[in-house]
Amino acid sequence: MELPSVIRSNATSDNQLQNHEIINKFFFDQAFNEIETKIQYVFQNKAYLIAAFTHPSNFSNPIIDSYERLEFLGDAILDFLVTRHVFVNYNENMTPGRVTNIRQDLLNNDRLAYILVACGLHTKILHNSPNLFDEISSYIHNENLFSKNQSTDQYLNKNLDQWADSTAPKALADVFEALVGAIFFDSGNSLETVWQVIEPLLRKYLGIVV
């Protein structure tokens, strides 16, 4: 198996089978299969998913790089997919300016961070940053956002103004965007596959902000 672009530059490519075994062991040790279950997508190359949840402060895996490049790609992919969805489904009433406003409202950092936490995926982020730990802990314990004993669907059906006065840690949104980039690479650059996975998480908000 060819090493993907999320492999650290100092990792050896001489023994790809050994690297593949290390990656798979790390994947299951961290129970990242739970992420696959939640998003209903199984990664062919587990390195992409690990990278999407690896903060730059973390070096627990000596082979896989952080999410920074995946996040950059995922941000652009989300912009395109949402823009396409709006133009295709609401083309008669949409000006470019209106589409820009919808995209900014739907894909702002606070909303993406909220969705990530609502799905319980924040617990899988690999980092060694005390500050980030404190920021995430403070955010997830905001009872105005995350009342106890609610399901993912209940969280995702909260009023859109619930988090208007709350600022989420940017790393949470970064991971969401990196996950989009990871799915894109793993699926062979399939935008349709990305949309099939991500659209259910955005569906409620798409119906409201448009």
pLDDT of residue 99: 87
DSSP assignments along the chain, one per residue: -PPPTTB-TTS--S-HHHHHHHHHHHHHHTTTHHHHHHHT---SSHHHHHHHTB-TT--SSSSB--SHHHHHHHHHHHHHHHHHHHHHHHTTT--HHHHHHHHHHHS-HHHHHHHHHHTTGGGG-B---HHHHHHHHHHHT-TTT--TT--HHHHHTS-GGGGTT----HHHHHHHHHHHHHHHHHTTS-HHHHHHHHHHHHHHHHHHH-
For residue 55, the one-letter residue type is H
- Per-residue b or e along 153-170, where b marks 16 or more CB atoms closer than 10 Å to that residue's CB: eebbebeeeebeeeebbe
pLDDT of residue 13: 57
The domains located in the chain, with CATH, are 16-209 (1.10.1520.10)
pLDDT < 70: residue spans in the chain: 1-4, 9-15, 91, 159-165, 210
pLDDT of residue 178: 98
Cβ contact 191:81 at 8 Å: yes
pLDDT of residue 88: 87
pLDDT of residue 5: 78
Cβ contact 58:168 at 8 Å: no
What number of other Cβ atoms are within 10 A of residue 44's Cβ?
Answer: 9
pTM score: 0.90
